Structure 1
């Protein structure tokens, strides 16, 4: 009986050792998979952040008073559209969201005609007819600044407005902090891409992010008025991001749209009325 008991003990010990080795192997595989996922996110995060919709070079925009513009930048050419009215009060420099292209974003032109403001909007690299591809935040910001330097001198003595929506709000805030326009408008903004990433992907460390786009930090440097617009039903970028911006930008005011979500903000009359009033008040 003693010999049988000792055999049972040895069997149990062997089984325990097998379980420990199996668990160690599972942990190692899980760790390797996690590290591989981190490496993929770091190297290919552009595919998560940017969703360009290219257009053929032969595509033509059929819009009255709207001119196609090509802006040469390092290693690429940016495509832009420029609504030019006979005697505008100024220009709205518009930075759009992370998907689509100018064919879908350059809309509601009649609103700008009514406000008597020219509208200038560009496609980022890889979007629409713009060539190249986005490779870094520094490159993206440099492209936006190049486009601003192309158009802003045409409006000496007139009002200059920088407008960002969704993804474009981080770029708009950074540009506005650098050039200090007469008015900055941020629609559905985020306080920073890092905060947005942490909320949506809490298991991913924020140091992976190569596009921090610190909107709150840049907005705190603005001297002129800042208009924030946010839908309270926005699940992609919650209204709390605009509330944080409101707390750091002394010249800011926030229009909350109770029934609006993320993609439909522009469909509400309160939105167009607020924008029109802000432009005409300059």
Structure 2
């Protein structure tokens, strides 16, 4: 039994080593379309930096457009599964653009971190070339890390607000924590620091990213600890805000009606209190000791 445990742990180690693709879990299944939710939409096609053909959807409000929101989704499935978490934004009057990285949905190519960052850059450029004024961007989980990297390269001049929902501060740290939660993974948790690159870690970008930032975290997130969002908030240049959502899980904050309403108010009039404790409006968290 002892050796079986070591064998499984070794298998986990092998899976991590050099397997960047393990970070991505794409599929091409069509889960739903905006029409299923009575939302008008248009398909979009554009090229990434290396010519990889990408796909996305414009979700269109029935009323006058209040603004444009770009969604950078998480590491699993594709846009046909993720757009359903943002139909309320469309019904509130916001135009939503959501796209798939390479290897996801109808997008061409094979998933990879560098390619996904370039795909996110391409999506930002595609939308900004077609819309005037500023836009809001929302990155969920891995999408938040991709978004931070894309903004660092692309610039933030036309970004009104960047929202990071359940995003890890450090990929190796998140990997260590995932292994630590497993009986068989705990003995090799150190391997995550060697196997997973820190090149794209948001924690290294946050201090210099000059854009208003809102961090969301669920107090019951069992995939990415809320402490990651706290670390990012703590390291970020102002203006910044951090909402810890009571009883929410991973990328689950916007499932709560009161969070949606508060966010819609925040979009209309962003308020960034200088007192960090005042920003934790849905729950409490022990503040770091200086």
Q: TM-score, normalised by structure 2?
A: 0.76
Question: Residue in 2 aligned with 1:207?
Answer: 194
Aligned counterpart in structure 2 of residue 161 of structure 1, from 136, 161, 171: 136
TM-aligned CA distance change 1:278 to 1:176, over 3 Å: farther
Matched position secondary structure for 2:84: coil
* Long gaps (5+) in structure 1: 1-25
TM-aligned CA distance change 1:179 to 1:116, over 3 Å: farther
Q: Cα deviations across residues 16-72 of structure 1 (Å, max 9, x unaligned)?
A: xxxxxxxxxx9xxx89x95x87565333331x211112137xx97636431111122
Q: Residue 85 of structure 2 contacts residue 255 of structure 2 at CA under 8 Å; is this kept in 1? A: no
Question: Residue in 1 aligned with 2:166?
Answer: 188
Whole-Å separation in 2 of the counterparts to 1:254 and 1:79: 32
Whole-Å separation in 1 of the counterparts to 2:231 and 2:161: 19
TM-aligned CA distance change 1:233 to 1:37, over 3 Å: closer
Aligned counterpart in structure 2 of residue 149 of structure 1, from 110, 113, 125: 125
TM-aligned CA distance change 1:281 to 1:270, over 3 Å: same
Matched position secondary structure for 1:194: helix
Note if 1:238 corresponds to 2:214: no
**Computing the radius of gyration over CA atoms, which structure comes out larger, 1 or 2?**
1
Matched position secondary structure for 1:227: strand
Q: Residue 66 of structure 1 contacts residue 81 of structure 1 at CA under 8 Å; is this kept in 2? A: yes
Q: Cα deviations across residues 211-245 of structure 1 (Å, max 9, x unaligned)?
A: 64311222222222111111111111111111111
Note if 1:266 corresponds to 2:254: yes
Aligned counterpart in structure 2 of residue 66 of structure 1, from 12, 33, 41: 41
- Which 4+ stretches in 1 moved above 4 angstroms? 36-40
Whole-Å separation in 2 of the counterparts to 1:37 and 1:232: 27
TM-aligned CA distance change 1:219 to 1:112, over 3 Å: same
Matched position secondary structure for 1:224: coil
Q: Residue 42 of structure 1 contacts residue 210 of structure 1 at CA under 8 Å; is this kept in 2? A: no
Note if 1:44 corresponds to 2:22: no
Q: Please report the RMSD computed on the Cα atoms of aligned residues, expressed in angstroms.
A: 2.7
Structure 1 residue 173 displacement after superposition = 1.7
Note if 1:53 corresponds to 2:41: no
Question: Residue in 1 aligned with 2:70?
Answer: 93
Structure 1 residue 112 displacement after superposition = 2.1
Note if 1:126 corresponds to 2:100: no
TM-aligned CA distance change 1:89 to 1:179, over 3 Å: farther
Aligned length: 247
* Long gaps (5+) in structure 2: 180-188, 271-290
Q: Residue 190 of structure 1 contacts residue 241 of structure 1 at CA under 8 Å; is this kept in 2? A: yes
Structure 1 residue 182 displacement after superposition = 1.1
Matched position secondary structure for 2:55: strand
Q: Residue 92 of structure 1 contacts residue 120 of structure 1 at CA under 8 Å; is this kept in 2? A: yes
Question: Residue in 1 aligned with 2:234?
Answer: 247
Aligned counterpart in structure 1 of residue 82 of structure 2, from 90, 105, 111: 105
TM-aligned CA distance change 1:108 to 1:259, over 3 Å: closer
Q: Residue 95 of structure 1 contacts residue 168 of structure 1 at CA under 8 Å; is this kept in 2? A: yes
TM-aligned CA distance change 1:186 to 1:155, over 3 Å: same
Question: Residue in 2 aligned with 1:19?
Answer: none
Q: Residue 176 of structure 1 contacts residue 184 of structure 1 at CA under 8 Å; is this kept in 2? A: no
Structure 1 residue 275 displacement after superposition = 1.8
Note if 1:275 corresponds to 2:263: yes
Matched position secondary structure for 2:220: coil
Whole-Å separation in 1 of the counterparts to 2:97 and 2:203: 24
